[in-house]
């Protein structure tokens, strides 16, 4: 069972932890971390055919130059990835964390094909199946995954990656939950515009829980559904205010009449739509600031020191 600092690192890097292996896609590469015979190991999956000798030499040199700094015990490079075992020192978790980020950005700078390529046949992938072989996780096309798991008793088929559209559905559900919370706050008579923060946070959480790919689409979905959620939430808040006014005046009405009247008011002139747009604007600012903060947190956690790109050149 993997726990402690490695489990915390998995959460920080948005990786999965199935108890025996930490794995997942990070910056376009399928990565895995595991412990075997008390040895802590990183494996990064990629496709690097034999004819890419210059890139292979650059990776070997990078690893050799990192041996002392990160207390690397051993490493092995193949056409399907690189495996690095760390010395079991007191700072081993810090070494793993720093080296992980550094190596990923090095491979990315070198243009080494990652999770969008089948590690077995080199075919470009729009979606992939994840296969674990003795802790080392690979991305494969369906055909190669079936061959590997059929011929290798040690291989284990893991969950297939979900694409950005599935993540978008998760972001939509998250934003919907945030919208409901906004309306709940407004219904109880509290200042609700700050709840734009909740909508953005839950949209991001929904994207992650549904397995959305880490990409620009994540940011676009987060911003889009956050703003839509704020607009819908504020409109429903207007409906609540109208409902309370009518109810206090003793009017008999249907809920559909409240919604229709609120919508008609917004279209009737600036007296009604300007306060609405101002409220949506303020709520959207709260949401957008939250999105920017989440981006900043992600960048800070993945870049532990400056100069990683320079090191990778």
Tell me what the mean pLDDT of segment 204-223 comes to: 79
Same domain, 108 and 123: yes
Q: What is the CATH number of the domain that holds 47?
A: 3.30.1460
- The terminus-to-terminus CA distance of the chain in angstroms comes to 37
Tell me what the mean pLDDT of segment 72-87 comes to: 92
Same domain, 168 and 141: no
Question: What pLDDT, on a 0 to 100 scale, did the predictor assign at position 211?
Answer: 64
Residue 238 inside a domain? The answer is yes
Same domain, 294 and 170: yes
Tell me what the mean pLDDT of segment 184-205 comes to: 88
Report the SS3 class of residue 190. coil
Same domain, 252 and 144: no
Tell me what the mean pLDDT of segment 218-234 comes to: 90
Same domain, 153 and 57: yes
Question: What pLDDT, on a 0 to 100 scale, did the predictor assign at position 139?
Answer: 87
Residue 310 inside a domain? The answer is no
Same domain, 14 and 115: yes
Lowest mean pLDDT among 105-114, 216-225, 251-260, 290-299: 290-299
Range of the domain at 16: 4-161
Same domain, 86 and 149: yes
Task: Give 18-56 as a DSSP string.
Answer: -SSEEEEEETTEEEEEEEETTEEEEEEE----TT-HHHH
* pLDDT at residue 59 tops 90: yes
Question: How many domains, in total, are found in the chain?
Answer: 2
Of 142, 161, 180, which closes a domain? 161
* pLDDT at residue 213 tops 70: no
Same domain, 156 and 188: no
Contact 201, 164 (CB under 8 A): no
Contact 139, 78 (CB under 8 A): no
Percent of the chain with pLDDT over 70: 88
Residue 247 inside a domain? The answer is yes
Same domain, 171 and 157: no
Question: What pLDDT, on a 0 to 100 scale, did the predictor assign at position 3?
Answer: 59
Sort strands 39-45 and 155-157 into parallel, antiparallel or unpaired: unpaired
pLDDT band at residue 64, thresholds of 50, 70 and 90?
very high
Same domain, 79 and 148: yes
pLDDT band at residue 311, thresholds of 50, 70 and 90?
very low
Lowest mean pLDDT among 185-194, 288-297, 298-307: 298-307
Higher-pLDDT residue of 240 and 304 is 240
Tell me what the mean pLDDT of segment 279-305 comes to: 75
* pLDDT at residue 44 tops 90: yes
Q: What is the pTM of this model?
A: 0.55
pLDDT per position as a tens digit, 120-166: 888 888 777 888 888 888 888 888 888 877 766 445 555 544 456 77
Q: Which long-range contacts (CB under 8 A, 24 or more apart) does 122-125 make?
A: 122/47, 122/49
Of 128, 146, 161, which closes a domain? 161
pLDDT per position as a tens digit, 269-288: 888 889 889 989 999 999 99
Cα gap 22→30, rounded to integer Å: 11
Of 161, 196, 224, which closes a domain? 161
pLDDT, averaged across the chain: 83
Same domain, 139 and 260: no
CA torsion sign, 211 to 215 to 220 to 223?
A: positive
Residue 308 inside a domain? The answer is no
Same domain, 127 and 215: no
pLDDT per position as a tens digit, 97-120: 899 999 999 999 999 988 888 988
């Amino acid at each position: 069972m993997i726990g402690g600092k490695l489990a915390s690192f998995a959460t920080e890097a948005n990786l999965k932890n199935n108890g025996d292996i930490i794995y997942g896609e990070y910056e376009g590469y399928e990565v895995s971390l595991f412990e075997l015979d008390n040895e802590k190991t990183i494996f990064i999956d990629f496709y690097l055919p034999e004819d890419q000798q210059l890139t292979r030499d650059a990776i070997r040199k990078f690893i050799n130059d990192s041996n002392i700094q990160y207390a690397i015990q051993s490493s092995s490079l193949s056409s399907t990835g690189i495996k690095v075992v760390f010395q079991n020192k007191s700072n081993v978790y810090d070494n793993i964390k720093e080296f992980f980020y550094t190596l990923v950005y090095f491979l990315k700078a070198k243009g080494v094909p990652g999770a969008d390529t089948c590690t077995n046949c080199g075919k470009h992938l729009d979606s992939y199946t994840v296969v674990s072989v003795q802790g080392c996780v690979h991305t494969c096309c369906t055909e190669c995954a079936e061959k590997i798991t059929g011929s290798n008793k040690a291989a284990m088929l893991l969950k297939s990656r979900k694409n950005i559209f599935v993540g978008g559905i998760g972001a939509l559900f998250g934003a919907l939950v945030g919208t409901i919370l906004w309306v709940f706050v407004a219904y109880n008579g509290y200042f609700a515009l700050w709840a734009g923060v909740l909508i953005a946070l839950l949209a991001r959480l929904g994207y992650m829980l549904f397995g959305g790919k880490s990409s620009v689409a994540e940011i676009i979905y987060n911003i889009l559904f956050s703003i839509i959620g704020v607009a819908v939430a504020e409109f429903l808040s207007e409906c609540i205010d109208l409902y309370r006014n009518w109810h206090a005046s003793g009017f008999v009405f249907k809920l559909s009449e409240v919604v229709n009247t609120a919508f008609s008011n917004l279209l009737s002139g600036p007296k009604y739509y300007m306060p609405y747009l101002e409220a949506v604007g303020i709520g959207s600012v709260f949401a957008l600031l939250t999105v920017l903060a989440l981006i900043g947190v992600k960048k800070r956690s993945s870049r532990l020191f400056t100069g990683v790109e320079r090191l990778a050149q």
